[in-house]
């Protein structure tokens, strides 16, 4: 699955400092440097939220796997649940490695 949009990486703090400079002492919305740092902060906050979400989902997947393995289910359900769990977990870990 190649999505060119996902390949875009917002600059790191080091790159912003190198290309735009340190944070200005007074934030000015018309300043390019301030806009870069504002966006950097917003993205960092989103990344932190996503990391928490991934952690929670991985924990729920573990719980679900435990239940599936300890409850008697009709074979076709068991297989369906395990396949979906594996698919969700790979998607989750793929997303984590992209971040
Ligand atoms: Zn500025």
User: In angstroms, what is the span from residue 51 Cα to ligand 1's centroid?
Assistant: 29
Q: What is the pLDDT of residues 36-72, one digit of tens each?
A: 999 999 999 999 998 898 888 888 888 888 888 888 8
Question: What's the pTM?
Answer: 0.62
Alpha-carbon span 65 to 85, nearest angstrom: 8
Number of folded domains that form the chain = 1
22 CA distance to ligand 1 middle (Å): 9
Residue 53: domain span: 4-98
Ligand 1 centre to CA of 19 (Å) is 13
Neighbours of 57 (CB within 10 A): 15
pLDDT digits (tens, 9 = 90+) for 66-85: 888 888 888 888 888 888 88
CA distances from 70 to 56, 75, 79, 86, 88 (A): 21, 13, 14, 17, 20
């Amino acid at each position: 699955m190649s999505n060119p949009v996902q390949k875009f990486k917002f600059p790191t703090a080091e790159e912003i400092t190198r290309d735009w400079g340190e944070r200005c002492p007074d934030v000015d919305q018309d300043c390019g440097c301030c806009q870069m740092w504002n966006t950097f902060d917003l993205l960092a906050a989103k990344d932190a939220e996503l990391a928490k979400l991934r952690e929670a989902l991985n924990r729920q997947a573990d719980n679900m796997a435990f239940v599936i393995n300890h409850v008697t289910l009709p074979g076709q359900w068991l297989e369906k649940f395990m396949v979906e769990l594996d698919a969700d977990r790979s998607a989750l870990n793929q997303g984590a490695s992209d971040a």
